[in-house]
Amino acid sequence: MATNPMEKYIAEVKDFTEGMLVQGKVLEVRPGDVLVDIGYKSEGLIPRYEFNDPENIKPGDQIEVLLEKIEDEDGMVVLSYEKAAIKKNWDRIVTLCNEGGIIEGKVKAKVKGGLMVYIGVEAFLPASQIDVIPPRNLDEFVGKTYQFKVVKINQDRKNIVLSRRELIEQERDDRRKNILVNMQAGQIRHGVVKNITDFGAFVELDGIDGLLHVTDMSWGRINHPSELVKVGEQIEVMVLEVDREKERVSLGLKQKNRNPWDDIAMKYPVGTKVRGKIVSVVPYGAFVQIEDGVEGMIHVSEMSWTKRIARASDVLKDGDEIDAVVLDIKRDEQKIALGIRQLEANPWTHIPKKYPPGTNISGKVRNLTNFGAFIEVEEGIDGMVHVSDLSWTRKVTNPAEILKKGQKVDAVVLEVDAANQRMSLGIKQLEADPWRSIEQRYRIGDLVKGKVVKLASFGAFIELPDKLEGLVHISQISEDRIEKIKDALKVGEEVNARVIKVDSQERRIGLSIKAAAYSAEQLDAEKRMFEDALRPGEAIVDLEHAFEQAEDEKDDKDDKNL
């Protein structure tokens, strides 16, 4: 019995269900899509981008497609080649690629947050998982095929998340471990400068980073690693140390060359004259490059025999070519001491013969300090006059009291220390010490005239005609009791007084103004009373303590007046 064609058609139509896989025949390949016949009343169009190799699709090809919709607005079936493959491949993919498995795939498109990869089904590759360093331009990956690691599979949503970064890291880790196993100290390796810091540079050696410390870059001086290497530069280094447990590698550049310090003592023995270039000037000296990797240092004290150089920059500057003499070598510390004053004869060698003790000299005051004055004996040669050698008769607390900078003075050489380049001078020694004959010049009871030069709480200092000073105790000014010395005497006032004590050993002269008109008996009695009135340690003319007390009182007065 023949079958009615319409009944057969209706039966066939009933066999098509949305979501099912059906066989189709390619009828036409168009620029943007492919026309496919599935044996239904209408054909369907499939976008060309759904095919992995659209160029190889041709009319007559049999393909399996997914029937998404029986009929669209135009009366055509809606088909998908890609979704058919996904439907067919999902179970196979899940079976083959459990989480952690490796699979190959082709990057189809850039999507929000990453890339869409076709591995038989569509999978998502987050941007953070594309490479070790997230790329800036994701478009450069589209259309390329890579190996991926399956990170996560969501059966319900039919989602797969991939990672290419983990494979790269694993590969680098395997390569790094392999390199560490085979790497030995002393090997020469090629690498690329990855990063530069103040303390060195990190060099990548086939997946492992090694540290090239600044101290291992050059036998010579460098201020910063960037002077020798640049980021991205390919360099050849020596392996110095390998710590496989911590995966650390120490590298060196200078070790590839001979250490110039090995034979330095033989090459530059002490006393050798050398020529070099100044590469650094610091306040205390200058560093001179003698040859590549070898520097010596000239201390400021070795720059001149006679000039006192405060800063090396006053004499030398960077880039100067100079001669110097090797003074000392410390090979283990890689230090060479140099001098430039040794290029000339030391003038102090002849100073002791030229200026023996007792020689009179004349010179200008070059500098004043609290403890003395420096006198220029000749160019570059100074002598020092201590404050104690300025005057026989006056207690000088500061040389500025009697000397000025630039003043021309006479002095006598007291001592010469050529080894330490010191010369001691004296000014008071130009005259005889008046205290040696004081007892013949001043006797107790003598009437003298003098001028008040200083006031203290305990009395007044009187300058006598021969510049010696005597002390009038406050009790010896008047028969009346005096509370304050300034109420009775003024500085510059001339007074008559009588000598009531002379002590040559202690260099003291005691005077009495009120005893100027005394008889001999009165004078003797007053002398005993005067000595009894003195406190222990407060001598009649203890110039050292008296002047100190007078200065203290003056300072206190000045402070109050400020």
Q: pLDDT tens digit string along 212-244?
A: 998 888 887 788 888 888 998 898 898 888 888
Q: Which residues contact 71 (CB under 8 A, 6 or more apart)?
A: 42, 77
Residue 538 banded pLDDT, cuts 50, 70, 90: very low
Only one residue has tokens 């290029």, namely 343
Q: Which of these ranges, 26-30, 299-303, 361-365, 431-435, has the smallest mean pLDDT?
A: 431-435
Residue 539 banded pLDDT, cuts 50, 70, 90: very low
Determine contact, residues 298/340, Cβ cutoff 8 Å: yes
Determine contact, residues 534/474, Cβ cutoff 8 Å: no
Q: Which pLDDT score is estimated for 1? A: 41
pLDDT at 541 over 50: no
Q: Is 215 helix (H, G, I), strand (E, B) or coil?
A: helix
Token pair in block for residue 79: 């088909």
Q: Which pLDDT score is estimated for 82? A: 83
Mean pLDDT, range 383-402, rounded to an integer: 86
Can you tell me the distance from the alpha carbon of 191 to that of 237, in angstroms, rounded to the nearest whole number? 7
Can you tell me the distance from the alpha carbon of 194 to that of 562, in angstroms, rounded to the nearest whole number? 67
Residue 562 banded pLDDT, cuts 50, 70, 90: very low
Q: Which pLDDT score is estimated for 116? A: 92
CA terminus-to-terminus distance, the chain: 141
- Which domains, ranges and CATH numbers included, belong to the chain? 5-84 (2.40.50.140), 97-168 (2.40.50.140), 183-256 (2.40.50.140), 264-341 (2.40.50.140), 347-430 (2.40.50.140), 434-558 (2.40.50.140)
Q: Which pLDDT score is estimated for 253? A: 87
Which run of H or E residues covers position 462?
Answer: strand 459-463
Token pair in block for residue 475: 């009790």
Residue 321 banded pLDDT, cuts 50, 70, 90: very high
Q: Which residues contact 137 (CB under 8 A, 6 or more apart)?
A: none
Token pair in block for residue 268: 């530059």
pLDDT in tens, 252-309: 888 888 888 888 888 899 999 999 999 889 999 999 998 888 889 999 988 888 777 8
Residue 97 banded pLDDT, cuts 50, 70, 90: low
Which of 238-252, 355-369, 424-438 is most confident? 355-369
Residue 431 banded pLDDT, cuts 50, 70, 90: confident
Mean pLDDT, range 372-391, rounded to an integer: 88
Token pair in block for residue 6: 């319409």
pLDDT at 201 over 50: yes
Buried b (16+ CB within 10 A) or exposed e, 367-386: ebeeebbbbbbeeebbbbbb
Reported pTM: 0.43
Mean pLDDT, range 200-207, rounded to an integer: 85
Mean pLDDT, range 171-200, rounded to an integer: 85
Residue 523 banded pLDDT, cuts 50, 70, 90: low
- Amino acid type, 233: E
Q: Is 256 helix (H, G, I), strand (E, B) or coil?
A: helix
Q: Is 75 helix (H, G, I), strand (E, B) or coil?
A: coil
